[in-house]
Amino acid sequence: MELDNIVEGQPDARLKAEIEALEAPGKGAGTSWRAGSSVRERVQLAYSAARAMLDSPALLTDAYFLFTPSQIVFASLQLADPPLADWYLSTKIPTSSPIRSKVLATLRSCAETLSSFSQSNVLSKDERAALEDKLEKCRDPSTIDMVKAHLAKQRGEGEEDEEKAERKRLQREASAKANADPFGPSIG
């Protein structure tokens, strides 16, 4: 939104002139903007490319665990249109600032993390189904329905030894009687 306002010349006409004078993004950039098109289109295409990066590839990397949301947004803008991102960052952090190099290093690291995503790492629907079938064969049948198994255990079902079931029932009843009084049995 702020870049759109700058393109409109709202905060400062000088900024609009600076953004118009920027060089075109290189071949590795995520945007499809080419010189000769409007600056508004450049901002919109950079936004679209950055948004596409944030919608799925960023979610499938470790970026959200390692970086703050603002760092991720700036890094995705850096991948989409490097000259535009560098210029925009210079409006926020002057080149003479001592923290600028640290911020740029962090953004570079975040951009590397975002660009490390490979579509080949994503499983297709068929591959996922085959993997789930393999996992199903390895699963312990007693853990499939844990609620049902727990209820059966409480009722004493499935036990071979009737004496064990009776002993557990008596223990439960004794425990329930002891816990009936919230302050415990009398000292008496």
| pLDDT tens digits along 81-135 | 888 888 888 888 888 899 999 999 999 999 999 888 777 777 788 988 988 888 8
Per-residue burial over 90-103, b if 16 or more Cβ lie within 10 Å, else e, is eeeeeeeeeeeeee
Pair of tokens at residue 179: 């816990």
The CA-atom distances, in angstroms, between 145 and each of 27, 39, 156 are 54, 59, 17
Pair 84, 151 in one domain:
no
The mean pLDDT value of the chain amounts to: 80
Residue-number span of the structural domain to which 44 is assigned:
2-121
Is 184 among the domain residues? Answer: no
Does 108 share its domain with 140?
no
Find the CATH number of the domain harbouring 18.
1.10.472
Residues 110, 165 within the same domain? no
pLDDT of residue 158: 58
Q: What are phi and psi of 178, to 5 degrees?
A: -65, -35
Q: pLDDT per residue over 52-84, tens digit each?
A: 888 877 888 888 899 999 999 999 999 888 888
Which residue type does 131 have?
Answer: L
Take residue 135 and report the two structure tokens written for it: 């996992």
Instruction: Write the burial class of residue 18 (CB in 10 Å: 0-12 exposed, 13-18 middle, 19+ buried).
Output: middle
Query: For the whole model, what pTM was predicted?
Result: 0.59
